[in-house]
Amino acid sequence: MMRLNKFLAHAGIASRRKCDDLIRAGLVKVNGKVVDQVGVVIDEQKDKVTFKGKLVKPKRKFIYIVLNKPKGVVTTASDQFNRKTVLDLIAIPERIYPIGRLDYNTTGVLLLTDDGDLAHRLLHPNYKVVKVYRALLNRVIRPIDIHRLQNGVELDGAKTQPCKVTELRIVDNGSLVEIELTEGRNRQVRKMFEALHYKVRELERISFAGIKASGLAPGEWRYLNKSEVALLKEKVGYGSER
């Protein structure tokens, strides 16, 4: 149940106060009857509300979350082996889903939402959404292999797209490498290094479409703010339409 002015405001008609004025002016009908008294409560699931003769449908408020995924958690809604899932870490009543996947032992930025269209666009290859990873290798990477990775390596019969690869520093006799991808193949980062005979000891995604998990400990999450949601929509061509 919801007050009529709140329902109209959620639908983007006007502010609640202005909606009260519109109701008093007799411009709103509920189930075909004019309602000109403020304070009316409706059942937003059953009642039919019109404004100036047009059906009013509330704009859905989607949920957008960034999780700093820890190791030992699967990126699915459920798991047949009863392993902990990313949804077990996010205690909210709404049904949300991860945008893409991170491997069981890969950590870092994972976005979750109930906005299926945006999720689809963020994963679609046409939009070339950038994902940034940091991989700790089992040995020091050779400059020639950085060049090979940047220009694409053969994986499962198809060459990977050009990407940016930077060696950041040496850690425990292995290179810490940052790699920026616009593709999203299954286990792509690990497979790219394996193709050149490197083993990835640790793998973290530090950014997805410009969204980071700064300040979040492994397993912690937060809602995206308005500017972050706008950034995601801009990257997949929504502009101001949505």
Whether residue 118 sits in one domain with residue 228: yes
Give the whole-angstrom CA distance, residue 231 versus residue 17.
Answer: 31
Whether residue 142 sits in one domain with residue 183: yes
Whether residue 49 sits in one domain with residue 12: yes
Average pLDDT of the residues of the chain: 93
Is the per-residue pLDDT at 198 higher than 80?
A: yes
The three-state secondary structure class of 71 is coil
In which band, very low, low, confident or very high, does the pLDDT at 15 lie, cut at 50, 70 and 90? confident
Whether 113 maps to a domain, the answer reads yes
Is the per-residue pLDDT at 186 higher than 80?
A: yes
Whether 213 maps to a domain, the answer reads no
Whether residue 140 sits in one domain with residue 113: no
**Residue 68: CATH number of its domain:** 3.30.70.580
Residue range 136-151: average pLDDT?
Answer: 98
Is the per-residue pLDDT at 33 higher than 80?
A: yes
Whether 35 maps to a domain, the answer reads yes
Domain membership of residue 12 as a residue range: 2-55
Is the per-residue pLDDT at 62 higher than 70?
A: yes
What pLDDT, on the 0 to 100 scale, is given for residue 59? Answer: 66
Whether residue 68 sits in one domain with residue 43: no
In which band, very low, low, confident or very high, does the pLDDT at 25 lie, cut at 50, 70 and 90? very high
Whether 217 maps to a domain, the answer reads no
Domain count, the chain: 3
Whether residue 110 sits in one domain with residue 162: no
What pLDDT, on the 0 to 100 scale, is given for residue 57? Answer: 82
**Residue 40: CATH number of its domain:** 3.10.290.10
Give the whole-angstrom CA distance, residue 136 versus residue 145.
Answer: 15
pLDDT in tens, 107-136: 999 999 988 889 999 999 999 999 999 999
Total-model pTM: 0.77
pLDDT-above-70 percentage for the chain: 98
Bridge-based pairing of strands 64-69 and 221-223 is antiparallel
Residue range 63-84: average pLDDT?
Answer: 93
Question: For residue 89, which of 110, 63, 106 has the smallest C-alpha distance?
Answer: 110
Q: Would you mind telling me the total number of residues written for the chain in this entry?
A: 242
Residue range 52-77: average pLDDT?
Answer: 90
Whether residue 85 sits in one domain with residue 195: no
In order of 67, 109, 110, the CA distances from 218 in angstroms are 8, 10, 11
Whether 96 maps to a domain, the answer reads yes
Whether 214 maps to a domain, the answer reads no
Is the per-residue pLDDT at 144 higher than 90?
A: yes
Which of 55-59, 187-191, 203-207, 222-226 has the least mean pLDDT? 55-59
Catalytic residues: 103
Whether residue 203 sits in one domain with residue 240: no
Whether residue 237 sits in one domain with residue 194: no
